Structure 1
Amino acid sequence: MREIVTIQVGDYANYIGSHFWNFQDELLGLAEDPGADPVFKNGLLDMDVFYRAGETQQGIFTYCPRMISIGSRGSLGSLSTSGTLYGNIPSADSMAIATWTGNAARSVAEPYKKNLFLQSLSEEDHDDSGIPASDSKEGDSSHRRERDKDRIECLENGVNSWTDYSKVQYHPKTLYELKGSWADVNKFDDYGIGRDVIAEGSHAEEMNERLRFFIEECDHIQGIQFIVDDSGGFSSVAVEYLENIADEYANTPVLLYNVRDPVSHALPINQRGLITRALHDAVSFSKLASFSKLMVPVGLPSLRSNLSPLLHVKDEKLFYSSAIYAAAIHSISVPFRLEPLRPSTNSTYASGALEIGEIVHLLAGQARQNPVTILDLAMPAPSFTEENNRGAILKYLNPLTPEIGEDDEDPYAVESVTVHGALHSGCNRALISQVKNSICAEYEGRSIKLKFLHLSMFLCPLPIPLPFPSIFTSRVGRHGELLEHEFEGGEPKGSLDVESVPIAARLRSSKAILPFIETRYMNLHKYGLARGSRGDELLRDWGFGREEVEDMGENMSRMLLALDPLSEEASSDSD
């Protein structure tokens, strides 16, 4: 067994995680569906890597994510912190306080009402009809489609929590809410606030105990997949968590995605807000990078304008943008679950399995020792055709990492590319050999060669579950193939019209990440270290002394030097 524990810290991280686990749930369902495409039944994707098996007190078998979710109080919507496996377990704050004998007034908020999608899930769980879908009459099929349209419409028009579209069962140790003196999540917007909250009570102890529960039941953990919303106070919560992991599980590699939604990229309206945001970004980046083996910054200011023309993404809706990032993280995780091929195994369906530790060594353990990596995505990936089988995939890859430059002239670049569900000539599945030959041919045609390339391929595409936003243009077909013509004025397509899509994702270690690091390095010097800097008092309020801030600057300086030894900014010492 090569288990992975997933940790999601922050509201937007949980939005992404909700889509991620919906993809896994859909794969599990399709593998057992006799009417599903056989490509989902090849058995080479080991779901036990992300899931744990268990049993209720009634002897009912359970299968749920090996995951810890940390969010703000009230962020779970209609879901209880005890999860859904063993009923509603009362939380500590809902019980009477035995030490208080005086009068007490109790204020109870209105319960969060389930939307139509969640209501329909509950009805399906209690449906004992046992009638297979294949035996349904045509009228029933039409009725089901209308019902599904209503379910999708309710999500398109009103998702207020990541649990509103989650169809996965969670273990009682999975869901954890931060409780503190702050009440409005919109004010939980800088590094210092999260540091104050985590210092209150027993948050760190409780979070560590949950991690210990999941890790100790693993046979051979290969690593931790960590997703953190770094746009506000949750980044310091994550740093506290990562520091504990480094102390207790030093040999367990961490693959860290620090994510940010398009809405949080909006610039503050005053000078103080600009300084606070600049210092938050610098401090968050430096501290997170120091406790992770491999960091992947994710989050464009706009997906509407910076992504594929085949997608229609509404930046203002977290439900939309988080689906894109979840698809990319799912694709990157495919090699971690592929069964390693033995010499006698047929490689028709998959190739290129590797573990988290191997990809960390590949991308961050080469000559540069650079822990910060760029994430690219092609969704849907184009078909391999005889006329356009050179450069089709790589040409369509778009960066999901912000503030990056070009790396065409980087001879030290290292890349890991994952392609799954690739098509050839319409809706036909491309062979593993076709994908490999095409991509290798393009890399060989470059004037500047990579230092190293790892290629993972899998025949199974990304399934599109029902609670998925309508983001595909009318040119995308049912299986993700590109149609010849786009219908003018056509409505965006969702899960009712698109069943699956081919995906290509890439992690690359290159000097293209320089602008991202340089911006944070220069802001730390400008607002935190320069003589008379206006952010000095703010950093002290966050609990940082001069020496610790200088250490952060030196940490980023070393990153810059590793990427570009000739960089003037990196070569200058901190004053």
Structure 2
Amino acid sequence: MREVVTLQIGGFANFIGSHFWNFQDELLGLAGDPDADPVFKNPGVNMDVLYRSGETHEGVLTYTPRLVSVNYQGSLGSMSSHGTLYNQTSESPSPVATWKGSVSTQRSESHKRNLFLQSLYEEEQKQKIGKDNRNADLPDDIGDKDIVESLENDVQFWTDFSKAHYHPQSLYEINGLWMDVEGFDNYGMGKDVFSESFRGEEMTERLRFFIEECDHVQGIQCVVDDSGGFSSVAVDFLQNIADEFTNTPVLLYTVRDPGSSMSSRSRKRNISRDLHDAISFAKLSPFCKLIVPVGLPSLSGSKVSTNLHVNDKKPFHSSSIYAAALHTLSLPFRMDTLAPAATSGSSLGALDINSIAQMLSGHLRQNMVATLDATMPAPAIGEPAQEQLLSKLQSLTPETSENMEDVHSVETLVIHGALKSGEQRASLSEVQQAISAAYEQASLRPRFCNLSAVTCPLPIPLPFPSIFSENVGCSGQLLSNPSPNSSSKGPLDVHSIPMAARLRSSSAVLPFLSSRLENLRKFGIQYGAIGGELMNSWGFGKEELEDMGETLSNMVRNLDPYSDVTSDSD
């Protein structure tokens, strides 16, 4: 088996991760449910790739994500940093022997569980002791509809809607960096966080715990909220990983909450944001095999939301869409086998992380930046619109060009739970034939495309936002005659959906790269740059800034060798 370890660094990254692990937990539950749809019985993926088996001190078997989550202190809400399985409690700090003065202890009031977490806890207690031990704080008539409504209004922490159990080594809160800290919104603010107070050693030790118990780790799936100081925390962490785990490839998703993209009335703050974006990307990219920027300034106004109702102000909403796409993209490297699969089975087109990265970054030209496209839910395949699914894929990567033609583009497409008409599921061979026909009819074809497919759709767990429009059916089919005046649908109305997502290496990402290069040069490198003083305060000298400019210049030239980009040292 080739295991994968997952890293989630920063606030929005953990919101995405919470949905991601909810999908996995739902799949595990449906696989063991005798009344569930048979398509979930053999989903075509090996969950052991992402999960580890363990045992508590009481001899209870556990199955937890192979995960290290890094976030602010206080970001876990009502959840303990030890998780919920191992019954560990935080020890009081040891007294200092040389201190003779009085000692006072200050404790913050613990957060209460919301309706969803209360109901989840009671259900687990009922399974443990074999009887209903109802919490007095939970109303007797509470139902799933009440829980769904509560989540829509009350989610504050990523743990508020998490139904997965975590290992005690998984949840790391950065000591001294509180969730309500102000100004942790730029690269400079997080520069020394990793190296101070043994934090870096503690984070690395947790990662080492998961990697060293793997038989053959295939790579690290890393999700980083790079909108603020966690970007520099991630750079230091990834550099440490590169030094210690030299041959372990990293697939890096840099993610942004829609709220982080809002421009300020202050020109100084906007320049600081532009410089942060350029430096963050230039510093993160050398420490991964493939980097995928994710996060639109607005999901609600994008084509991705054609069949969705998204509230951009709620991370609970936007993170669910990105999590669904990341789940889809993770399927090829956790299929049952890396050998070519028969189209009569439940999975097709397995790839490991390294193969995906090499395919997208090393075909004809060296470029390790990919864009992410998705459609949610995916439209039905087959006649009369063979090309419809491909045309419905919309970018989740910001600042990309829709009309830029690239004869050297390479892409890997993943489809799961495809429908062909109504609620009728398509076989793998039908998916393969439909996609082959779609590429043949496409006006612009990539130089190379890999197709991976799984028959199992994306399950919609109870703690999922009500974001589906009225024309989405219970199996994710697009209805031609939806009920009029229907409100947004949620997990009680939509039980699963077909999904399609694509990673693409093409010149479509040039605007994203070019804007970062231009801003770095204009505000940070050129003589008398207005951001020069700010760069000094972040600890960057002219030579290091020029090196970052060269990194971005090379990326632009790899995609467009005829561009007018010149070296910063010229």
Q: TM-score range by the shorter chain?
A: over 0.9
Residues 74-129 of structure 1, C-alpha deviation per residue, up to 9 Å, x if partnerless?
Answer: 101011111122113315x6554454331123222111111111011110011149
- Relative to structure 1, the CA distance from residue 11 to residue 201 in structure 2 (aligned partners, 3 Å threshold; closer, same or farther) is same
Residues 446-486 of structure 1, C-alpha deviation per residue, up to 9 Å, x if partnerless?
Answer: 34432211000110000000000000011100000111123
Residues 256-293 of structure 1, C-alpha deviation per residue, up to 9 Å, x if partnerless?
Answer: 00000000111122121011101100000000111111
- Partner in structure 2 of residue 46 of structure 1: 46
Q: 2:412–2:502: 8 Å Cα contact kept in structure 1?
A: yes
- Partner in structure 2 of residue 335 of structure 1: 332
- Relative to structure 1, the CA distance from residue 197 to residue 408 in structure 2 (aligned partners, 3 Å threshold; closer, same or farther) is closer
3-state SS in 2 of match to 1:303: coil
Q: Residues 312-461 of structure 1: matches in 2 within 5 Å? A: 312-340=309-337, 347-388=344-385, 390-406=386-402, 409-461=405-457
3-state SS in 2 of match to 1:180: strand
Q: TM-score under structure 1 normalisation? A: 0.94
1:260 aligns with 2:256: yes
- Partner in structure 2 of residue 30 of structure 1: 30
Distance 1:44 1:278 in 2: 43
Distance 1:526 1:464 in 2: 46
1:480 aligns with 2:479: no
2:566 to 565, 568, 571: 571
* C-alpha displacement of 1:68: 0.2
Distance 2:127 2:469 in 1: 38
- Partner in structure 2 of residue 17 of structure 1: 17
Q: 1:294–1:371: 8 Å Cα contact kept in structure 2?
A: yes
Distance 1:196 1:286 in 2: 18
1:562 to 558, 562, 568: 558
- Partner in structure 1 of residue 164 of structure 2: 168
Distance 2:98 2:38 in 1: 61
- Partner in structure 2 of residue 496 of structure 1: 492
Distance 2:155 2:323 in 1: 17
- Partner in structure 1 of residue 86 of structure 2: 86
Structure 2 spans left out of the alignment, 5+ residues: 132-138
3-state SS in 2 of match to 1:127: helix
1:244 aligns with 2:216: no
Structure 1 spans left out of the alignment, 5+ residues: 133-142
Residues 159-213 of structure 1, C-alpha deviation per residue, up to 9 Å, x if partnerless?
Answer: 0100000011111110111123666344210101111322321111111111111
Q: Residues 59-78 of structure 1: matches in 2 within 5 Å? A: 59-78=59-78
Q: Which moved more, 1:393-402 or 1:446-455?
A: 446-455
- Partner in structure 1 of residue 183 of structure 2: 187
Q: 1:341–1:347: 8 Å Cα contact kept in structure 2?
A: no
- Partner in structure 2 of residue 101 of structure 1: 100
* C-alpha displacement of 1:406: 3.1
Distance 1:231 1:115 in 2: 28
Q: 1:420–1:460: 8 Å Cα contact kept in structure 2?
A: yes
- Relative to structure 1, the CA distance from residue 45 to residue 380 in structure 2 (aligned partners, 3 Å threshold; closer, same or farther) is same
Distance 1:106 1:59 in 2: 35
Q: What amino acid sits opposite 1:107 in the alignment? A: Q
Distance 1:476 1:145 in 2: 29
Q: Residues 217-236 of structure 1: matches in 2 within 5 Å? A: 217-236=213-232
- Partner in structure 2 of residue 537 of structure 1: 533
Q: 2:376–2:500: 8 Å Cα contact kept in structure 1?
A: yes
- Relative to structure 1, the CA distance from residue 340 to residue 128 in structure 2 (aligned partners, 3 Å threshold; closer, same or farther) is closer
Aligned CA-pair RMSD: 2.0
Residues 201-241 of structure 1, C-alpha deviation per residue, up to 9 Å, x if partnerless?
Answer: 11111111111111000000010000000000000000001
2:542 to 519, 535, 546: 546
Q: Which moved more, 1:163-172 or 1:82-91?
A: 82-91
- Partner in structure 2 of residue 115 of structure 1: 114
- Partner in structure 2 of residue 290 of structure 1: 286
Q: What amino acid sits opposite 1:393 in the alignment? A: L
Distance 1:476 1:344 in 2: 31
| Number of residue pairs matched by the alignment | 562
* C-alpha displacement of 1:27: 0.2
Q: 1:311–1:473: 8 Å Cα contact kept in structure 2?
A: yes
Distance 1:534 1:182 in 2: 31
Q: TM-score under structure 2 normalisation? A: 0.95
- Relative to structure 1, the CA distance from residue 340 to residue 273 in structure 2 (aligned partners, 3 Å threshold; closer, same or farther) is same
3-state SS in 1 of match to 2:163: coil
